[in-house]
Amino acid sequence: MQVTIDKNSGYCFGVEFAIKMAEDEMENSDRLYCLGDIVHNDMEVKRLREKGLVVIDRDQLQSLSDCKVLIRAHGEPPETYKTAIENNIELIDASCPVVLKLQHRVKTAFDKMERENGQIVIYGKKGHAEVIGLTGQTLEKAIVVMEDSDLDKIDYQRPVTLFSQTTKSTKGFYDLSEKIESRIKNTKGELDELDFNANDSICRQVSNREPQLQKFAQENDVILFVSGKKSSNGKALYQVCLAENPRSYFIENETEVDPEWFRPEDSVGVCGATSTPMWLMEQVKNHLESMEENLLQD
């Protein structure tokens, strides 16, 4: 059995940057607060918790003062920075540069839409950390859409500016964009350039994973996709693998591997989400190799 780790899998730049900042800070401190899970992977959260990273939520942030709090790669709304100033909290800001740039674009577009009686629409998951940061730029007026049923929230008589959560599917974004455009045409009879402005704000480091994973899934007999169950990016990318290779399995760690999935002659590909650490994929690879050794000895 030949086992290969996908060289394109593992942390995106933003997550890697945030974890490095957290580790550097904890070298000089035995406790660092983090607003939400630093990454949607329980194994990595557990590893960092043992180093002194304490995960808190927004309610807990209100009661903290005179301490350090890490802002993870997903970014935060303006309200978080206001709370930090009021409570004398030092923020270790690990917001992804791609997300920060998008927040600025959303804020600029919102100010324009306010003057033109328009609407900001965000293609993303309601309640997702990044989306909370984006809607915060719009005084919570942005309309968050993901399913077709969400499109009923939009007023098609008014101008629409569309953005996307950086980790969403490119295909999903353009499908949604076409549906909004079609509804504007049906409502107004025509589409003026001022009626609709679609901004593809998906991170290319994330979107490029789809064609890379398609190829990787085709090249291997079995795919083990390693990801935390809370990762929306993980769920989406696993479906990419499954569409190309029916012998694809979603696991959180090596303990979920079933020997019945494999044949001795199989080539096995190990890959993961943008929130999956490389050390965890290596752990799965090592487990597979030791499992094969045990089978040969038996």
Can you tell me the distance from the alpha carbon of 51 to that of 239, in angstroms, rounded to the nearest whole number? 34
Q: Where are the beta strands (DSSP E) in 63-150?
A: 68-71, 90-93, 119-123, 143-145
Q: Is 180 helix (H, G, I), strand (E, B) or coil?
A: helix
Beta bridge partners of 269: 4, 223
Can you tell me the distance from the alpha carbon of 55 to that of 70, in angstroms, rounded to the nearest whole number? 9
Q: Is 77 helix (H, G, I), strand (E, B) or coil?
A: coil
Q: Of residues 76, 130, 252, 292, which has the active-site annotation?
A: 130
Residues 6+ apart with CB under 8 A from 101: none
Is 130 annotated as catalytic? yes
Which residue in 243, 195, 208, 265 sits closest to 6, CA to CA?
208
Can you tell me the distance from the alpha carbon of 226 to that of 5, in angstroms, rounded to the nearest whole number? 11
Which residue in 229, 217, 209 sits closest to 274, CA to CA?
209
Just list the catalytic residues: 130
